[in-house]
């Protein structure tokens, strides 16, 4: 029975990924290779999240030479953000969308980017910004199952932990395909699945929650 459930979950998660690829391909065709092509409202909105994620990285990552995996790297914007600030992290970007990875390989160093829904090699931290905001199906339980499944896969490949953000609300909901994690629910769920979970919120992004999951 467990094997059957696992096979069904794998099928559904693969279906979600295939549909996400189609959605983002359509968005790229409409808006181009920019922040709006990744469902961000603007470049400044995207970079505002990068600044806050980066502040958490500075707090929890002690080495400037740490290996980081950027999951859902899109067009390599976070890599560019770090590069312009002279960080020396050993970077690797991953995305399930072939068009995005092809774009990154042409724009940046080819070996830094790979098609995958998880890090393919061990890193110190996996960084995830906005990757799980866009929900394909209007089912909160299904999206949460998909979210936890992917976070667990990333955690397995991260020797120190994860740093990521989600849209949050007082109650879990999906509005116009955007998943909002219920504040109490998501903190409880994460603590049930991981040992050391830390939550942060900031006035500058009131609808966002920032999470750090540490191995030790």
pLDDT digits (tens, 9 = 90+) for 71-125: 999 999 999 999 999 999 999 999 999 999 999 999 999 999 999 999 999 999 9
| pLDDT score recorded for residue 125 | 98
Buried b / exposed e along 105-144 (16+ C-beta atoms within 10 A):
beebeeebbbebbbbeeebbbbbbbbbbbbbbeeebebbb
| pLDDT score recorded for residue 3 | 79
**Mean pLDDT for all residues in the chain:** 95
Q: How many alpha carbons lie under 13 Å from residue 123 in its C-beta half-sphere? A: 26
Mean pLDDT value of segment 141-166: 97
| pLDDT score recorded for residue 7 | 83
- Expressed as residue numbers, the domain containing 165 is 2-214
| pLDDT score recorded for residue 24 | 96
Please check the confidence at residue 69 and state whether its pLDDT lies above 90: yes
| pLDDT score recorded for residue 187 | 95
Mean pLDDT value of segment 153-173: 97
Q: CATH code at 155?
A: 3.40.50.150
Q: How many domains is the chain built from?
A: 1
Please check the confidence at residue 5 and state whether its pLDDT lies above 90: no
| pLDDT score recorded for residue 1 | 62
pTM of the model as a whole: 0.95
> What is the rounded CA–CA span in Å between residue 19 and residue 157?
25
């Amino acid at each position: 029975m467990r094997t059957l459930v696992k096979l069904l979950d794998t099928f559904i998660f693969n279906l979600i990924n295939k549909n996400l690829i189609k959605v983002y391909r359509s968005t790229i065709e409409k808006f181009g290779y920019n922040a709006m092509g990744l469902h961000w409202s603007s470049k400044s909105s995207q970079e505002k999240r990068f600044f806050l994620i980066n502040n958490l990285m500075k707090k929890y990552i002690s080495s400037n030479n740490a290996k980081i995996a950027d999951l859902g790297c899109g067009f390599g914007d976070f890599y560019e953000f770090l590069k312009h600030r002279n960080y020396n992290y050993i970077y690797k970007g991953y995305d399930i969308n072939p068009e995005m990875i092809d774009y990154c390989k042409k724009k940046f160093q080819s070996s830094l980017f790979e098609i995958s829904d998880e890090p393919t090699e061990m890193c110190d931290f996996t960084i995830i910004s906005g990757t799980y905001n866009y929900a394909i199906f209007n089912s909160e339980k299904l999206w949460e199952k998909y979210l936890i499944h992917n976070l667990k896969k990333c955690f397995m490949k991260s020797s120190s932990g994860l740093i990521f953000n989600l849209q949050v609300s007082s109650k879990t909901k999906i509005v116009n395909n955007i998943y909002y994690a219920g504040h109490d629910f998501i903190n409880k769920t994460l603590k049930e699945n991981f040992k050391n979970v830390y939550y942060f919120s900031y006035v500058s992004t009131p609808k966002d929650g920032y999470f750090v999951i540490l191995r030790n």
